[in-house]
Each structure stands twice: as structure tokens, then as C-alpha cells.
Amino acid sequence: MHTGFSIETRGPGLIEFTGRVADWVADAAPEEALLTLFVRHTSCSLLIQENADPEVQSDLAAFFHRLVPPSDDPSMRYLTHTYEGPDDMPGHIKAALLPTSLQIPVIDGRMSLGTWQGIYLFEHRTRPHLREVTALLR
């Protein structure tokens, strides 16, 4: 069984979509399965992260911005792929460092996430995008 999720972004940061995935898994009603999520883009990532305190998401975004600043930052002058804007190549680097797919066990018809875990799309580009995530239950 498979489906897709469209996620609108408004710039860099983490967008939680746990509820949408949980609703789809509940409708599919598998007793036991493995859920695979895969983002179909090269400048964003998928994460399982804490969803209780929004400071976690803002701190992660700030950390990765500091780790990989825009290509117009003097520390990034070695980059050659710069014609798509100062956020493009840094977005590809962040996506190379972070997962673009996740696997989550489904047991008794529910995702086996921990109490404070949520599923996030991590947008690395500065302008809005429509991102597509493919979900597969096996």
C-alpha cells in the first residue's frame, strides 16, 4: 500500500506532518508493517525529532544554518554551484548530511514512535516549495 503527501514550505525550518501519516496508517489498518517515507527532492530532508518543545526545531534549523551557511557567506566561497541562488548548494549539502528516507515499524496498527517523537520535513531552501513525500507500507 502506498500514498503521497504534499507539504508546502515557507522557507527553511522543520514542518511536522506526523498526524497526516498517522491518519493514513490508521486508515490502512495494518496489524504489523514497516512504513517507509521518502522525500523526492535533493534540498530537503526527513527527520524524526522531538515534537514537544518548538525550540528544538528552531535550534536545529539555526545549527544547520551555522554549519552550512549560504554560498554568499565568505566561508563558502569555494562552492562552484551557485547559479541557483545562495541557498541552493547549501541545501544540497544539508540534504546529503541528513536522511531523505525514514523507516518506522507499525505494530498493532500504529506507528511505533516514542512519546515525544514527530515526523518532520526539514526544508533547506529560503523560498517556499511544494515538497512530495512518498509513503509505503509493507
Sign of CA dihedral 14, 18, 21, 24: negative
In one letter, which amino acid is 119? Answer: I
Sign of CA dihedral 18, 19, 21, 22: positive
Cell numbers at 73, concatenated: 557567506
- pLDDT at residue 129, as a whole number: 98
Q: How far is CA 138 from CA 34, 105, 131, in A?
A: 5, 10, 23
Kindly tell me if the per-residue pLDDT of 29 is higher than 90: no
Q: Say how far apart CA 47 and CA 57 lie, in whole Å.
A: 10
- pLDDT at residue 7, as a whole number: 98
Please state, rounded to an integer, the average pLDDT across all residues of the chain. Answer: 97
pLDDT in tens, 57-116: 999 999 999 999 999 999 999 999 999 999 999 999 999 999 999 999 999 999 999 999
